[in-house]
Amino acid sequence: MNRLFPDAARSLFSVAEVAAMIDAGEALILAAEEAPLSALPRGNWIGGTSPFFMSHEVGGTFDRDRILVQKLPDIATIAWAGLLDRASLPTMAERGAGNGYTIVLMPGQSAIQQDFALHSLEWPGMFARPLAGWVTGVANDRIGIDVPKVFDGRTGTASTDKALVLHVALPDDAFARIDIVNLFVPDTDGPALTFGEVGDEPAFTVEWAKVDGVPTRLVDHIAAHGIDTRLPLVADYNGAMVNVATQWVDTDRGQVNFFAPVHPGMEYRFARPIDDYERLFAEQLGTPRGEIVFSCNCVLNYAYAGLEGRHTSGLTGPMSFGEIAYMLMTQTLVYVTVDRDGPVTMAAQSST
């Protein structure tokens, strides 16, 4: 354990403590509200705004003053780090290491987040190495006042409209792996929902769906069946269960807006309720292989599953406003491990 991390049971630190780590040359991934991040010196760090955390100290927590710290593994080096705009982000993979992984942070509700959600799977080289990250946000009482931001610690620059990319290099005998923990499964007793026609663009906002093949306004289907929209839509993406969480339902306009896009041609169902998040999470997580070097959990899990003061099996990180594991996800936990047992890249876990 590095001397600047004297207590393995800590993940939240004061501005002064994090500044000391930065001045000592530590490479860090940080999460906090805007004011603590703005007070830090320049150095080898990236950060994003969120006041919600899964911490070693108290489990799920809300903290406006401290900074959640994730440290790059000792064997890793920074291959490239910086801000990319909408025109440059599709080429992000070109800057990565031959062996390593990539962390990307994106401002919530930004155009660049939407670009990534809609088109990233089409960009060249996106599967060349593990790609994980999270979407930044602000506390509920600051919506409309503060704006989600990302911070490039090397230049001291904050941005509301660019993505922050960190390419991490690993030695040849080490390998990174992404894992996804998703406790939600589709409720097969409910109808199948599809959106649009094959060839249409994915959509964040929808009015009409086909409910078991019958065109229906989605708001009417939700109202008629008393659907709890805290439960996400779930679809099978090549064997991995991927959630699409509902952001709002506007009955006046007849529209439903999602935190991630729904894709034409995919079959979705609303999820089954889950009873004991903490227990199910521990069961699904099991024993991660290798060193956990990054993780994030959805703020909707924090809110809907009552995670304040509850632990997620030792995993720490920001509660995010969208999770990234090659593509944009919601209501999941994503983590990255590094080990030296062989080249593996991604696994998806669910409660199936």
Residue 300: inside a domain: yes
Is residue 227 domain-shared with residue 296, that is, in the same domain? no
The last residue of a domain, from among 270, 290, 313: 270
Alpha carbon of residue 283 to chain centroid: 21
- Asked, for residue 186, whether it belongs to a domain, the answer is no
Whether residue 239 lies inside any domain: the answer is yes
Cα–Cα nearest to 22, from 4, 1, 3, 48: 4
In a domain, 7, yes or no: no
Do 25 and 132 reside in the same domain of the chain?
yes
Domain interval for residue 162: 12-181+277-350
Radius of gyration of the chain (CA): 20
Give the pLDDT score at 2.
Answer: 37
Residues 45 and 176 in one domain: yes
The CA angle 230-231-237, to the nearest 5 degrees, is 135
Clarify whether residues 266 and 301 are in a common domain: no
Q: Looking at 24-59, list the stretches that DSSP marks H as alpha helix, in order from N- to C-terminal side.
A: 34-38
Residues 96 and 202 in one domain: no
Sign of CA dihedral 239, 164, 136, 205: negative
41 and 122, same domain (yes or no): yes
The CA distance from 123 to 126, in Å, is 6
Asked whether residue 4 is assigned to any structural domain, the reply reads no
Map residue 212 onto helix, strand or coil: coil
The answer to the question of residue 47 being in a domain is yes
Name residues whose C-beta falls within 8 Å of residue 227's C-beta, 6 or more positions apart in sequence. 221, 270
Predicted local distance difference test score (pLDDT) of residue 8 = 58
SS3 113: helix
For residues 306 and 202, state if they share a domain.
no
The torsion angle over the Cα atoms of residues 46, 49, 50 and 53, rounded to 10 degrees, is 10
Q: Rounded to whole angstroms, how far apart are CA atoms 34 and 51?
A: 9
If asked whether residues 197 and 294 sit together in one domain, one would say: no
| Residues 207 and 312 placed together within one structural domain of the fold | no
Residue 174 and residue 208 in one domain = no
Domain contains 344? yes
State residue 40's pLDDT score: 98
Residue 306: name the closest of 281, 330, 277, 279 by CA: 277
Number of domains in the chain: 2
Classify burial at 25, counting beta carbons within 10 Å of its beta carbon; exposed 0-12, middle 13-18, buried 19 or more.
exposed
Burial degree of 57 (CB within 10 A; 0-12, 13-18, 19+): middle
Asked whether residue 40 is assigned to any structural domain, the reply reads yes
Q: Are 290 and 250 contained in the same domain? A: no
- Helices (H), ranges, 135-229: 218-225
Q: Which of 251, 270, 289 delimits the end of a domain?
A: 270
> What pLDDT score was predicted for residue 342?
53
Q: Which of these three, 223, 249, 270, is where a domain ends?
A: 270
39 and 142 together in one domain: yes
Chunk the chain into consecutive blocks of 10 residues (it has 352) and report each block's average pLDDT, rounded to whole numbers.
50 97 97 98 98 94 97 95 97 96 97 95 94 96 92 97 98 94 92 90 94 97 96 89 94 95 94 84 78 94 87 88 95 93 48 38
For residue 4, the model assigns a pLDDT of 41
Residue 128, SS3 per DSSP:
coil
72-90 CB burial, b ≥16 within 10 A, e <16 = bbeebebbebbbbeeebbb
